[in-house]
């Protein structure tokens, strides 16, 4: 019984062997274990610029730390000097209203600006 347990544990601790993927047919694929799976295609992006009532470096860190983890957010730039938050996002996963609400939930006044 002990030998079987040791054999099973030894087998489970072996690294998964990946099949090599090469050539034109491998474009856009990732090797996972013995299976080859297609990568998710890069989705379309949208951008929004918000004017936010932030006033210090802690505000910038709070917004950056929280909004960067929102679903669909691809890129984020927060400017304390301009009091703006620029967000590049996947419109199939989120929208402007959700992003605005997420910033407001942190305690800031937010309005969309057209000056990008």
Domains and CATH numbers, the chain: 2-38 (no CATH), 46-113 (3.30.70.100)
Q: Across the strands, what pairs with 35?
A: 32
Closest CA to 107 of 30, 46, 48, 52: 52
pTM of the model as a whole: 0.61
Residue 10 CB partners (closer than 8 Å, separation 6+): none
Residue-level pLDDT at 68: 93
Residue-level pLDDT at 4: 64
According to DSSP H, which parts of 38-85 are helical? 57-67
Model confidence pLDDT, tens digit, residues 15-61: 444 444 444 444 444 433 333 333 334 569 999 999 999 999 999 99
Say if CB 106 and CB 77 are below 8 A apart.
no
| pLDDT score of 97 more than 90 | yes
Displacement of CA 57 from its chain's centroid (Å)? 23
Residue-level pLDDT at 3: 63
Report which of residues 35 and 89 the model is more confident about.
89
């Amino acid at each position: 019984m002990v030998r079987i347990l040791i054999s099973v544990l030894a087998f489970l601790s072996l690294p998964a062997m990946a099949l090599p993927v090469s050539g034109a047919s491998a474009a856009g694929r990732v090797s996972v274990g013995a299976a080859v799976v297609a990568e998710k295609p890069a989705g379309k992006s949208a951008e929004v610029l918000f004017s936010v009532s932030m006033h210090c470096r802690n505000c910038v860190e709070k917004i950056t730390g929280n909004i960067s983890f929102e679903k669909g957010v691809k890129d984020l730039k927060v400017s304390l000097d301009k009091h703006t938050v620029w967000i590049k996002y996947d419109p199939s996963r989120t929208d402007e209203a959700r992003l605005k609400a997420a910033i407001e939930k942190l305690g800031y006044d937010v309005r969309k600006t057209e000056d990008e």
